[in-house]
Structure 1
Amino acid sequence: MPPDSTSGPAIAPGERAQEDGAPVASLALALLATCQLVLVVDASIVNIALPSIQSGLHFSDAGLSWVVNAYTLAFGGLLLIGGRAGDLLGHRRVFVAGVAVFTVASLAGGFALTPGWLLAARAAQGVGAALAGPGTLALIATTFEDGPRRARALAVFSVVASAGMVAGLVLGGLLIAWTSWRSVMFVNVPIGVAIVLLAPRVLRETAGKDGRFDIAGALTCTLGSTLLVYGFVRAAEHGWSGGLTAGAFGGAAVLLTLFPAIEARAEQPIMPLRLFADRDRVGAFLMRLLLTSAMSGMLFFLTLYVQKVLGYGPLATGFGFLPTTIALIAASRAVPRLLPRYGPQPIMAAGAVLCVAGMVWLTQISATSSYAAMILGPVLLFGAGTGLVAVAATFVAMSSVEAGESGATSALLQSMQQIGGSLGVAVLVTVNDAAARGGSQVEGMRGAFVAGAVFTVLMLVTALLVFRRRRNDQGRSGSQI
């Protein structure tokens, strides 16, 4: 039975120290940020390793894509369950359990001898990630009191959540160049063990809630989310007109349409519908979806361009995206200082403008373009824009959320990232294939970047039209994050 919610957060003897000084709180932030980074990195780090995995385990071309998809489906499909489990049972408990599952699955994957073995391990990694992921934001809210320290903590979280896709390319390039594909699995193990051992010492447990789990809502949202992500994955591989693709989208539409009706009748819903009553929060979710859609598609095709057209190896390709991370970190550091003064709308609008500029620049790419002339500028602009949008959207999404609903809110925000990643790749691959039929491979990529620019324009429209909070309103709500 979870602790009584009226008794306040349960604090173990070793945790009291974090209330008295910054060092333990800083260690808590480092632990949570590292966990979030690993979970996001794991979705992209294997991309660099796929050729080695295929030759080492004799994957078919069709089966190879599921090394990525098995993780994505489990992670994206189970996030809401992970968030609700944390709200009911205590976020630290569920967080540690998720990291443990993720770590054991990573170890098993590193020893894989057959394709089925590796795919099962990747799916288990996704299950662990879905349990651990929502707790990162919720535990930040309980570890850091309102004010500048929580603002900085949320900024750090937003940076690692956005930079993880790029960091995965860099780390994957290094590991493959120095060792073998198995290292992209084994690298998670010491990090996961350290997190499991340190979490009880530096993270304060959140109070659980008495109540029953919303089984009908959990099944509906899990199956609906999984089918939606699968539909995008299938569309990217086989087009939008196939029977399985249409069936997946149709099933997702039915289930996700039923979901609000089920939640409206549930005594303790897995996703409280009042979270959608705040127009700004809905806008923040939409911004996160569009940002990740644009970024995932951009990274997918730039990785292909750099390797196939410019002839870069895996290591050089990874380092070629470092400027994105540098610009992202630099821009994100300014957001906590700007939010109380200007509010979220102008910050997200400015970030969207930078993303639009970067993507439009990429639409001019050609077979003779150089890295310095055609890639460095766009990735710097996009990185800076991502830093502004991601941090501000996280602030808005987590503003004024009740303690018992922080897990559900965090899970929904991260679901937007998972769905957005699949959506962006699916749309840009489709446009690329259509454009390449009448021209060259690079012309197809130009078409894909045009589609990416549409996502960024929609970000700008959302920033300008959806958010309505005035500066003073944001200043008050910012203290409630």
Structure 2
Amino acid sequence: MTALTSSPTRTPHRTYSRWASLVVLCAGALMTILDGTIVTVAMPAMQTDLGFSGAGLAWVVNAYLIPFGGLLLLAGRLGDLLGRKRMFTAGIAVFTVASVLCGLATGRGLLVAARALQGVGGAMASAVVLGMLVALFPEPREQARAIAVFSAVGAGGATLGTFLGGALTQALSWHWIFLINLPIGVVAWLAAIRVLSPEPGAGLRDGADYPGAALVTGALMLTVYVIVGSGDRGRTATLLPAALAVALFVAFAVRQTRTERPLLRPRLFRSRLLTGANAVQILMVATMYGFQFIGALYIQRVLGFGELATGLAFLPAPVVIGVLMMTLSARTVGRFGAYPVLLTGLMLIAGGMALLSRARADGSYASDVLPPMLLLAAGFAAAMPPLTGLAMSGAPEEDAGLASGLFNTTQVVGGSLGLAALSTLAASRTGTLLARGAELVPATAEGYRLAFRVATGIAVAALVLAGAMLRPRNR
């Protein structure tokens, strides 16, 4: 995404219109972010209704995340060429239509296909938001406030989706977690048309790396396909798509060194901070997505909570994330520095996952879920702002937009891969125990505990990697 590379010198004439534009941008981004997690609590109902397998159920989420992450760079580039307002409004329209198709789905194939279309629309809308925001608020202090609001909305919205999914599923049905986007999307689209200032693009003559986008998107989709289905297929059927995924990644890397307008410039990876921050983010987000998905299933299938109760059980997380990001994050980083605050946040995440890995078959929400949830929320609120700052500080000014697109992409990739790997591990362990004669609830709980233990290891790996790669260098 290259949205940030455009000059932010033009300021809207009226202050209120800038903040109204921020509200519209946050609303559009929130709708796409919520949809990444709103399905979590509704998954058991979808599985019962449509007959998904345990591992295949993860594709309800991954079908959204993979095109979303794979197309962010291309969508950002097209936003520069065609105009960012045009790309944002088109993305909201595609997302809204796809949501209706999801809500009307009566089969597994149609639901997964519509979720993929949602991911396309989400990428179109999300890729240009940060560039539009920076152009709206060129003054540093106001820009910092606007970015803080946008970051808090995004971080809290990801977890808030769990609550909304539970409420809508229990009160109506799982179809309504998608159909509710119709009135919201229409209002957001009309508001964007009216409020956002038009920004003419550079024109399609400057071109974009469409083959590169196809290569990296195909590689990501194959990678998750291999992880999700590894427990259901033989070695040969797993190795062949894995080899093809590696080949596509290699072809993408080679193309980026030879094409005149690469989607991802190789010189970016010479920066230790940018490379390290993106690698840490993949591991950290994989842990957090694993918690949201596996944690919701543990609360429902082991503790016996209904959809609405599960949504309420997750509600403390977005509250903690929003409050800490809005009140303490910038102040704490300014006082102690990004590196120690980041390490503290990662230690809290690792500690929360370690506590969660002790969750029992006869456990309770108050002792087995709430304490680790609060640690995870506090850790994410502490770690995300300094990690973002470190990533962007490692990019030269002319590549700031591309670095922003890369950071958004690795966030989605980390969530998708973490969700695929952890859900597959849990399903495989549970199936093995059931085959040995274990009872359903204890076997299910043990599968989730294994996933939580692996997630703890991933969080520790993120902490070690951050300590090694992001340490400030002395003069």
Shorter-chain TM-score tier? 0.7 to 0.9
Partner Cα separation in structure 1 for residue 126 and residue 217 of structure 2: 15
Give the 3 Å change call, closer, same or farther, for CA 406–211 of structure 1 in structure 2: same
Indicate the SS of the match to 1:429: helix
Write the letter of the residue equivalent to 1:367. A
What residue is the counterpart of 1:33 in the other structure? 26
1:404 and 1:185, CA in 2 relative to 1: closer, same or farther beyond 3 A?
Answer: farther
Give 1:330's aligned residue: 323
1:419 to 395, 404, 413: 413
**Cα distance, 1:123–1:248 mapped onto 2, change above 3 Å:** same
Residue 413 of structure 1 deviates from its aligned partner by 1.9
Kept after mapping to 2: 8 A contact 1:212/1:268: yes
Residue 465 of structure 2: aligned partner: 462
Counterpart of 2:467, as a letter, is L
Aligned counterparts of 1:431 and 1:323: Cα–Cα separation in 2: 27
Q: Where do residues 93-104 of structure 1 align in structure 2 (5 Å cutoff)? A: 93-104=86-97
Q: Output the CA distance in 2 between the equivalents of 1:371 and 1:177.
A: 19
- The separation in 2 between residues aligned to 1:317 and 1:230, in whole angstroms, is 28
Q: CA deviation at 1:409?
A: 3.0
What letter is aligned with 1:144? Answer: F
**After superposition, what is the alpha-carbon deviation per residue over 1:412-459, rounded to whole angstroms, capped at 9, x for unaligned?**
222222221222233323543565546742233222211111111112
Judging changes above 3 Å, is the alpha-carbon distance between structure 1 residues 370 and 450 closer, same or farther for their aligned structure 2 residues? same
Task: Quote the residue 1:352 is aligned against.
Answer: 346
Distance change >3 Å, CA 422–CA 289, structure 1 → 2: same
Whether 2:123 is the aligned partner of 1:130: answer yes
Are the counterparts in 1 of residues 95 and 119 from structure 2 also a CA contact under 8 Å? yes
Q: Are the aligned partners of 1:24 and 1:202 in contact in 2 as well (CA < 8 Å)?
A: yes
Q: Which residue of 2 aligns with 1:217?
A: 212
> Is 1:445 paired with 2:438?
no
CA deviations 1:151-194 (Å, max 9, x no partner) are 23333333333333322211011111222222111211222222
1:374 and 1:470 map into 2 onto residues whose CA distance is: 40
Task: Pick which of 103-112 and 264-273 moved more.
Answer: 103-112
In the alignment, what sits opposite 2:221?
Answer: 226
Can you list the C-alpha shifts for 1:360-388, whole angstroms capped at 9, x where unaligned?
11122222322111211100000010111
Which shows bigger deviation, 372-381 or 250-259? 250-259
Alignment match of 1:282 (pick from 251, 275, 278): 275
Q: 1:90·1:207 contact (CA, 8 Å) conserved in 2? A: yes
Q: 1:271 to 1:88 in 2, by over 3 A?
A: farther
What CA deviation, in whole Å up to 9, does each residue of 1:10-32 have, x standing for no partner?
97xxx833xx42x3332222222
Structure 1 residue 351: Cα displacement = 0.4
**CA–CA distance in 2 between the matches of 1:445 and 1:400?**
37
Corresponding residue for residue 16 of structure 1:
12
- CA distance in 2 between counterparts of 1:444 and 1:346 reads 34
Instruction: Select between 446-455 and 113-122 the one with higher mean Cα deviation.
Output: 113-122
Say yes or no: does 1:108 pair with 2:101. yes
> Structure 2 vs 1, CA of residues 132 and 244 (structure 1 numbering), >3 Å: closer, same or farther?
farther
Instruction: Check 1:454–1:102 CA distance in 2 against 1; reply closer, same or farther (3 A cut).
Output: same
User: Residue in 2 aligned with 1:310?
Assistant: 303
Paired with 1:253 and 1:65, the residues of 2 have a C-alpha distance of 22
Contact 1:75 1:130 in 2 (8 A): yes
Q: Distance in 2 between matches of 1:244 and 1:167?
A: 38
CA contact (8 A) 1:91 1:139 kept: yes
| C-alpha distance 405-362 of structure 1, shift in aligned 2 (>3 A) | same
Alpha-carbon shift at residue 112 of structure 1 (Å): 3.5
1:417 counterpart letter in structure 2: Q
Hey, what does 1:271 align to over in structure 2?
264
1:46-445 to structure 2, matched below 5 A, reads 46-53=39-46, 58-59=50-51, 61=53, 66-206=59-199, 208-209=201-202, 211-235=206-230, 238=232, 242-333=235-326, 334-399=328-393, 405=399, 407-432=401-426, 436=430, 437=432, 440-441=442-443, 442-445=445-448
Moved more, 362-371 or 242-251: 242-251
Change in CA separation of 1:309 and 1:67 when aligned onto 2, cut-off 3 Å: closer
Q: Confirm or deny: 8 A CA contact 2:33 2:154 kept in the other structure.
A: yes
Residues 1:285 and 1:146: Cα distance change in structure 2 (over 3 Å):
farther
How far did 1:400 drift?
Answer: 7.2
Instruction: Confirm or deny: 8 A CA contact 2:98 2:115 kept in the other structure.
Output: yes
Q: How many matched pairs?
A: 459
Distance 2:112 2:423 in 1: 24
CA distance, structure 2, for counterparts of residue 281 and residue 167 of structure 1: 29
Q: Distance in 2 between matches of 1:244 and 1:44?
A: 30
- The answer to whether the Cα contact below 8 Å between 2:58 and 2:420 also exists between their aligned partners in 1 is no
Q: 1:449 to 1:94 in 2, by over 3 A?
A: same
* Residues in 1 aligned to 2:82 and 2:8: alpha-carbon distance in whole angstroms: 12
- SS of the aligned residue for 1:464 comes to helix
- Verify the 8 A CA contact 1:307 1:314 in the aligned structure 2: yes
Q: Could you say if the C-alpha distance between residues 159 and 249 of structure 1 is closer, same or farther in structure 2, counting changes exceeding 3 Å?
A: farther
Report the TM-score, using the length of structure 1 for normalisation.
0.86
Distance in 1, matches of 2:463 and 2:122, equals 31
SS for the counterpart of 1:42 is helix
2:426, 2:111 → 1: CA distance?
A: 30
- The whole-number CA distance in structure 1 between the counterparts of 2:101 and 2:252 is 35
Q: Whole-Å Cα distance in 2 between the matches of residues 151 and 290 of structure 1? A: 26
Cα displacement (A) at 1:76: 2.6
Closer/same/farther in 2, CA of residues 422 and 26 from structure 1, 3 Å limit: same
Separation in 1 of the partners of 2:43 and 2:428? 25
| Segment of structure 1 superposing worse, 39-48 or 263-272 | 39-48
Deviation at 1:307, TM superposition (A): 1.2
Partner-residue secondary structure (3-state), 2:228: helix
Secondary structure of residue in 2 paired with 1:369: coil
Q: % of aligned pairs identical? A: 37
The separation in 2 between residues aligned to 1:457 and 1:373, in whole angstroms, is 23
Which secondary structure state, in structure 2, belongs to the residue aligned with residue 16 of structure 1?
A: coil
